[in-house]
Amino acid sequence: MKEIVLDGFLTGPIKFACDSWVHSKFDNPDLRVFFSNKSYLPSETPEGLKRLREDELITLRGNGQGERKAFERIYDYDVYNDLGNPDKDPDLKRPVLGGKEYPYPRRCRTGRPRCATDPLSEQPSDEVYVPRDESFSEVKLVTFSANTLQSGLHALVPFLRTSVIDKNLGFPLFSAIDDLFNEGFNLPPQQQMDFKTILPRLVKLVQDARNDILRFETPATMDKDRFFWFRDEEFGRQTIAGLNPCCIQLVTEWPLKSKLDPNVYGPAESAITTDIVEKQIRGFTTVEDAIKQKKLFVLDYYDFFLPLVEEVRKLEGTTLYGSRTLFFLNEDGTLRSLAIELARPPIGEKPFWRQVYTPSWHSTEVWLWRLAKSHVLAHDAGYHQLVTHWLRTHCCTEPYIIATNRQLSAMHPIYRLLLPHFRYTMEINALAREALINADGIIESSFTPKQLSILVSSIAYDKHWQFDLQALPNDLIHRGLAEKDPNAPHGLKLAIEDYPYANDGLVLWDAIKSWVTDYVNHYYSDDSRTVVSDEELQAWWEEIRTVGHGDKKDEPWWPNLKTNEDLVEIVTTIVWITSGHHAAVNFGQYTYAGYFPNRPAIARSNMPTEDPSDQELELFYDKPEVTLLKCFPSQIQAMTVMTVLDILSSHSPDEEYLGQTIEPAWEEEPMVKAAFEKFQGRLMELEGIVDERNADKNLRNRNGAGILPYELLKPTSEPGVTGKGVPYSISI
């Protein structure tokens, strides 16, 4: 049901924007209620609507009992206990995420039966319940994104796994990697699925061959410069203008020190010494001055990954280190790679091991540096996928959606403000639990932590996730990448002036905040008692904190919700995460990781200098390229990840871009409509700002020979894999 219009009134037609699935009374005998497009705060609700408003919320909450049926519209919470399948195989048992041992956000409750062999685990199924109105619309179902994601995960990827005889077989030569884009991979004959119709970008029909060919499109980065991944300049640039620009931090203390127990994990002080750094920056400055001038930055996965090294190394076909990567800010605003430290804690009889690698002019050190970079990139790729992308956007947003539907009436103005930012997210998350983050799914089979992958996101949630730090300005300040300055643009002075993600992101953040401010101030008077006395709003925020993110309920950093300013900051943060942040870390996935040597999802072998055997050293000195290829993902891992990233990076033809279409309820309120049109104007201005910045030759992190312009926060896009476009919601 799209819309109901009642004509015949002197004041004009009354519209009801339904956007809802309506089922037969034999499925669902309860009568449906649709409210008109006029928004009301609870205290302003017309007397005749008060009971209907309350009853509808009671219906949406359900009673927490039984297995949910496909036609139901019930929103309830549960832990992540459906990622494993111990009834199928004991090795597929996975811990429950959510609770004291493994803190985690909550997901939507489905009520499926428990596993016979593990009563803590829910039985997986092909059809995962999501509340009916969270399901894809008919239009969405037949368009590219949803259909191809389903087909790619459920048909092509399993088909690939059976087509490759040796799952551990790597690429013998770099030319074999290039062949994936030039010649393609022959898909064996298959009867049930016409891949070229569901995955038109990837599966080519070659007239002279009987088989379909899986041939990957050349990523835009490689198309501009096929050696882009090899350059140290690009390695540094991508930490601020690539797929994961959210982890680099300012170095404020020297020497770098671990906070882990030195009796368990080895010396706290980093092996990257002053002497090592000053050899790299000789003629520029000293380490002491570099820190004072805010010129040293670090990509630090040392404390995060080091405690996991022993367990990960017990798994087949993968390895892990704790890592630190140090960068120096050049005068031209680019980042120079200085050093990489890789460490292994004591394991059994093996003592603590670590080594520092630096760029060099000698072949041996150069190849060791390239190998060390591959390990760091695998760490960054895993952290990006499991934390920056899945946890911070998909996973942490689901409790907001559930609470919004349980506590805010469809008539509530904040419900209507947030609604477009939540479309299809629960459906895409359910699909992720089925095939991406599940036991033996895409992530576990292809990324460095393997079976420990989902625990990585739980550890990150426990140790690092804070709601207030999801706001872009707060995140930048927290990482030392910005400080408050009322005289600077957006009130922030950036430590790296040419920081494309931050530069474009802050323009978008300000546009969103201005729109949310206008909207909130229209419905709430300046008197803070209006916000405090809004029972639905207070129940909503309380439930997000104490139930949806209940494992964090006692943290002191949760914002209060007492004033208009509090409400604006909370809503702006949620909108930013679902739109700008998700776009920045999602739609460049194929662009930057499609050519996997640039961002290998997994590192399969140790550094040749760690406990080397004569055979390994001989191979390294004789053919260092082969040592690097052996470290890279296997053929099946590479093709699986490339296929999925291509799909995840695609915009569907009916993509709903931020600010492009006004919601019916907004349009009927003149002041809100005017504020939205102002918001649209700011987004159009951002389009021009991005183009202007990318054309500026002084901005070397987004302009230069072979450098891909930074467009991930450009609001609109054409369909397909474009590396730009900011949708309203997390819909892919």
Active site residues: 389, 394, 582, 586, 732
Helices (H), 546-634: 564-576, 582-586, 589-593, 614-622, 624-631
Instruction: Quote the tokens at residue 682.
Output: 């700011």
Is the Cβ–Cβ distance between 397 and 390 less than 8 Å?
no
For 318, left (φ over 0), alpha (ψ -120 to 50), or beta? Answer: beta
Q: What is the dihedral of CA 563, 565, 570, 571, to 10 degrees?
A: 110
* Cα 493 from Cα 253, distance rounded (Å): 20
Contacts 24+ apart (CB under 8 A), 6-9: none
CA–CA separation, 81 vs 410, rounded Å? 30
Torsion of Cα atoms, 14 then 20 then 26 then 27, to 10°: -160
Encoding tokens for residue 186?
A: 């022959």
Q: Can you spell out the DSSP letters for 506-537?
A: HHHHHHHHHHHHHHHHHHS-SSTHHHHT-HHH
Torsion, Cα of 483, 489, 494, 496 (10° steps): -170
Q: Token pair 């493994």 is at which residue?
A: 102
Alpha carbon distances (Å) from 693 to 29, 81, 407: 57, 46, 43
Query: How far apart, in whole angstroms, are the C-alpha atoms of residue 302 and residue 112?
Result: 39
- Token pair for 286: 């000293």
- The H or E element containing residue 303 is helix 302-305
Q: What is the DSSP string of 159-179?
A: HHHHH-S-TT---SSHHHHHH
CA–CA distances in Å: residue 709 to residues 119, 176, 676: 51, 28, 29
Longest dimension (CA), the chain: 91
Going by their DSSP bridges, the two strands 185-186 and 213-214 should be labelled as: antiparallel
**Residue 58 in contact with residue 33, Cβ under 8 Å?**
no
Helix (H) or strand (E) holding 234: helix 232-241
Cross-strand pairs, 354: 343
Q: Are 643 and 152 in contact (CB under 8 A)?
A: yes
Residue 690 corresponds to which tokens in the numbers above? 């991005």
CB atoms within 10 A of CB 15: 17
Query: Distance between CA atoms of 390 and 465, rounded to whole angstroms?
Result: 13
d(CA 95, CA 201): 37
Whether 18 and 137 have beta carbons less than 8 Å apart is answered as no
DSSP 8-class letter at 496:
S
Residue with tokens 């002075």: 493
Among 567, 581, 450, 565, CA closest to 505: 581
- Euclidean distance between CA atoms 367 and 195, whole angstroms: 40
Six token digits for residue 546: 């104490």
